[in-house]
Chains A and B, each alone.
Chain A
């Protein structure tokens, strides 16, 4: 790398990423609900000084933690779910009930369409989903329809939702394996939409459980799992267990800790304690505290 041979080294720290996120940016967060969320990056953003973010996500505790930290001004989402009991994220709910965020709620398929439009540098893509529902009301005039120039066989003409491109200033995703140049793979059952988030964004950040040499990456998985190539990545951050407490390809969701997160959110004192111990700390400390917390649950004092 130092001799100009081979692709550049993009390995970075969480702090380097946070330094590049500016107030008011539109941030796409990969994963899905309680699944393979870039939680280490989310935690780093939550403890940073950044504010007034617009977040695009298939939401889970990623959106919850950013709401808890008061970082979210506007959210574009198809749903917000923790995926296991108690399902509803408490901090997203609090932000909504307080009227603290502007919601651009939409059908799940509309997010995919919006990211695909952005990835293809198109202003919109037509989609049926959203017609007849309250989705256009959530968008307060921002969401328009488009009329087909081609009538159907019976002479009637389709009017469809013109899903606008969800162009992102930055995308944050978590993939199970990556090399230092930004080639990356998932090892679980679902790629989710992480490649689309990266393709829709100006600045592209991949956190990974395991940073490996390129030859090990391509030996570890079948080629179809290499959903992200380096032309769509700016920085790679090695964050073992970084998707915690959501699941990733190599570890399950931490349902016990997720429940503790939800319980803590319901009480001012408990949340202060949760925040001090798990959020106002760097990532290695977080991981160590989570391990200690689990040991405490098994062996209560």
Chain B
């Protein structure tokens, strides 16, 4: 499907960068099955709902507070519900492993360590953010992906100041408690990545149309595997574009997170 759709998108439907990002975020959930999708920002939220309306109808999604949605409403809207998931049951869910979270990140390193806590020394930071939040528990328990709306070498640097999300180089293979560490994807405004490079290092899976390997390299503080040979990100299908534009995000929230 990719070649014809790519042609259509470039010449005809003219998908925006944000729409490529939404489709790439939807693809995060391909094959996820009957699990809780927990996107933490608008573009991955649109992606999760897009996946649910297309290939992954069994995904569970919430209103971001405590209600499990039966419907797949537009961003910012609620709909009919099918269940209850207060915070304490979220912790039960993540311990069960039946969840895939898409978190943001202030820093991500080559092995997938992530920081959203603070910059600087632990007890005397230079900038305070949220604290580690649920990142340690998410990453040790179930599939985790990251969404970075502005790909830069400040985010993708040599090392992270505070390890919130656990990277592959932290895994102790002798300790089965680490067996479920799985950083599935990193989607940015420049491309789609995973940690399938040598020794679980970051690897380019695709670059969005108009993005060059040089541009990614300039904006990343470490080498990315397969960067030169990465293909173009598949264009959103006509059905995906219709769902994004008319059903899920008619007011264009996606364009405030990713500028074309």
**A interface, CB within 8 angstroms of B:** 32, 59, 77-81, 87-88, 92-93, 96-97, 99, 102-103, 105-110, 112, 127-135, 137-138, 152, 154, 156-160, 189-193
**Contact partner of B141 among A99, A128, A134, A158, CB < 8 A?**
A128
- CB <8 Å contact, A189 and B86: yes
- CB <8 Å contact, A107 and B136: yes
- CB <8 Å contact, A190 and B86: yes
Contacts of B134 in A (CB 8 A): 78, 107-109, 129
The complex places the Cα of A103 from the Cα of B141 at a distance, in Å, of 24
- CB <8 Å contact, A129 and B140: yes
Contacts of A137 in B (CB 8 A): 122
- CB <8 Å contact, A156 and B130: no
Contacts of A88 in B (CB 8 A): 128-130
- CB <8 Å contact, B125 and A96: yes
The complex places the Cα of A103 from the Cα of B170 at a distance, in Å, of 23
- CB <8 Å contact, A135 and B118: no
- Closest residue on chain A to residue B169 by CB atoms: A132
- CB <8 Å contact, B130 and A80: yes
The 4 closest A-B pairs by CB, nearest first: A129-B137, A132-B170, A93-B128, A132-B166
Contacts of A87 in B (CB 8 A): 130
The complex places the Cα of A129 from the Cα of B181 at a distance, in Å, of 11
- CB <8 Å contact, A132 and B66: no
With known contacts A128-B95, A190-B66, A193-B88, A135–B141 Cβ distance under 8 A: no
- CB <8 Å contact, A129 and B136: yes
The complex places the Cα of A114 from the Cα of B209 at a distance, in Å, of 48
The complex places the Cα of A112 from the Cα of B162 at a distance, in Å, of 22
The complex places the Cα of A109 from the Cα of B136 at a distance, in Å, of 9
Mask: chain B, 217-254; 1 = CB below 8 Å from A; 0 = not: 00000000000000000000000000000000000000
Contacts of A79 in B (CB 8 A): 130-133
Interface range on chain B (Cβ under 8 Å from partner): 35 or more
**Contact partner of B176 among A103, A107, A156, A189, CB < 8 A?**
A156
The complex places the Cα of A191 from the Cα of B132 at a distance, in Å, of 23
Question: Quick one: which of B98-130 are within 8 Å of A by CB?
Answer: 117-118, 122-130
Contacts of A152 in B (CB 8 A): 176
Tell whether B164 is near chain A: CB-to-CB under 8 Å. yes
With known contacts A79-B131, A107-B134, A112-B91, A132–B171 Cβ distance under 8 A: yes
The complex places the Cα of A103 from the Cα of B172 at a distance, in Å, of 26
- CB <8 Å contact, B140 and A131: yes
The complex places the Cα of A158 from the Cα of B172 at a distance, in Å, of 10
Mask: chain B, 47-81; 1 = CB below 8 Å from A; 0 = not: 00000000000000000011100000000000000
- Closest residue on chain B to residue A81 by CB atoms: B130
Contacts of B86 in A (CB 8 A): 189-192
With known contacts A88-B130, A129-B141, A133-B163, A193–B87 Cβ distance under 8 A: yes
- CB <8 Å contact, A106 and B132: yes
Tell whether B199 is near chain A: CB-to-CB under 8 Å. no
The complex places the Cα of A171 from the Cα of B17 at a distance, in Å, of 49
**Contact partner of B135 among A81, A107, A158, CB < 8 A?**
A107
The complex places the Cα of A46 from the Cα of B117 at a distance, in Å, of 26
- Whole-angstrom distance from the CB of B163 to the nearest CB of chain A? 4
The complex places the Cα of A191 from the Cα of B175 at a distance, in Å, of 35
Tell whether B177 is near chain A: CB-to-CB under 8 Å. yes
Most buried by B among A93, A108, A152, A189: A108
- CB <8 Å contact, B176 and A133: no
- CB <8 Å contact, A105 and B177: no
The complex places the Cα of A32 from the Cα of B133 at a distance, in Å, of 12
Tell whether B214 is near chain A: CB-to-CB under 8 Å. no
- CB <8 Å contact, A128 and B140: yes
Contacts of A102 in B (CB 8 A): 123
Q: List 16 A-B contacts (CB under 8 A).
A: A78-B134, A99-B123, A108-B137, A127-B95, A128-B137, A128-B177, A129-B136, A130-B137, A131-B136, A132-B171, A133-B135, A133-B136, A133-B164, A134-B122, A138-B122, A154-B176
The complex places the Cα of A107 from the Cα of B116 at a distance, in Å, of 12
- Closest residue on chain A to residue B86 by CB atoms: A190
- Closest residue on chain B to residue A94 by CB atoms: B128
The complex places the Cα of A59 from the Cα of B130 at a distance, in Å, of 10
The complex places the Cα of A122 from the Cα of B65 at a distance, in Å, of 31
